[in-house]
């Protein structure tokens, strides 16, 4: 039995609508893929350009920071984690939203910048300093913090370097953990300005991997210790954050 003309007309309209929707979805998917590639390409280019301005470890690098601060006066440090592609200047904004979607050059960028919590001392003289960075693939920004979840990687890659205009410091990694974005111990740096013992004991209990020998060193004279936390989003959940903790130690060369 043949369909009536009105029914055939409805079917034709329906088919056209479905075709238009499929074409639109295809274009949207293509645009999304292109847009995502642009975000990563921009982040990679900015990172490569900045490496040309990287201060030399252990040297007098006031002139290097003068060049960086001509680009952006908010630059307070440079951080490098050995065994990873984490090798970036650190900025500090007036608040913790400023550099979420702005790069070191001050341009809009979904990749943002690596930034120090606005409540922390920019000279890293606090007992506890907190640094944020977006989680990105392709070894960009703080994406490589994921590597520390692997026990073998954690055990082999123990060091980093933190440079300020006045000093070069070594970083001694001692814990990695996954916490909630509202975690008051990790994300309240003003609670540990003069004493980081609360963060250290918390990490010793909660960390996925921890170096007990380093925790013991810190506990021996905690009043003199300074630690740094690197934080980024985690793929395990919307509110989950990966946090890497490192002890600030004298620089002895090669990040050790």
- Is residue 233 in some structural domain? yes
The per-residue pLDDT for 37 is: 53
Task: Tell me 229's DSSP state.
Answer: E
pLDDT in tens, 217-237: 999 999 999 999 999 999 888
Q: Indicate whether 7 belongs to any domain.
A: no
In this structure, is residue 38 part of a structural domain? no
Cα 193 to the center of its chain, rounded Å: 21
From the number of C-beta atoms within 10 Å of its C-beta (0-12, 13-18, 19+), residue 2 rates as exposed
Global pTM value: 0.83
Tens-digit pLDDT profile for residues 21-63:
555 445 444 433 333 454 445 556 655 878 888 998 877 788 9
How many domains does the chain divide into? 1
* pLDDT given for residue 21 in this prediction: 53
Which pLDDT does position 139 carry in this prediction? 85
**CATH code, 211:** 2.40.260.10
> Is residue 98 included in any domain, yes or no?
yes
d(CA 145, CA 154): 10
In a domain, 39, yes or no: no
In a domain, 174, yes or no: yes
Structural domain includes residue 215: yes
Nearest to 160 by CA among 234, 65, 89, 249: 249
The per-residue pLDDT for range 191-202, each reduced to its tens digit, is 999 999 999 999
Percent of the chain residues past pLDDT 70, beyond the cut: 80
The whole domain housing 171 covers 53-250
The answer to the question of residue 187 being in a domain is: yes
**Plot region of 112 (φ>0 → left; ψ -120 to 50 → alpha; else → beta):** left
């Amino acid at each position: 039995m043949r369909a009536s003309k009105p029914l055939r007309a409805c079917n034709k309209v329906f088919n056209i609508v479905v075709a238009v929707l499929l074409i639109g979805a295809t274009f949207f998917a293509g645009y999304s893929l292109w847009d995502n590639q642009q975000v990563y390409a921009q982040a990679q280019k900015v990172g490569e350009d900045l490496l040309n301005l990287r201060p030399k470890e252990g040297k007098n690098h006031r002139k290097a920071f003068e060049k960086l601060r001509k680009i952006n006066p908010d630059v307070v440090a440079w951080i490098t984690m050995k065994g990873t592609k984490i090798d970036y200047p650190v900025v500090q904004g007036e608040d913790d939203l400023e550099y979420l979607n702005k790069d070191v050059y001050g341009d809009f960028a979904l990749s943002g910048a690596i930034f120090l919590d606005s409540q922390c001392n920019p000279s890293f003289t606090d007992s506890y300093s907190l640094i944020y960075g977006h989680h990105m693939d392709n070894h960009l920004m703080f994406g490589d913090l994921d590597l520390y979840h692997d026990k073998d990687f954690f055990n082999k890659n123990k060091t980093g370097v933190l440079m300020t205009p006045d000093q070069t410091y070594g970083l001694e990694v001692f814990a990695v953990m996954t916490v909630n974005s509202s975690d008051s111990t990790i994300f309240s740096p003003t609670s540990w300005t003069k004493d980081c013992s609360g963060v250290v004991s918390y990490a010793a209990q909660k960390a996925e991997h921890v170096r007990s020998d380093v925790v013991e060193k810190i506990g021996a004279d905690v009043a003199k210790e300074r630690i740094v936390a690197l934080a980024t989003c985690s793929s395990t959940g919307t509110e989950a954050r990966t946090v890497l903790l490192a002890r600030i130690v004298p620089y002895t060369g090669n990040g050790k």
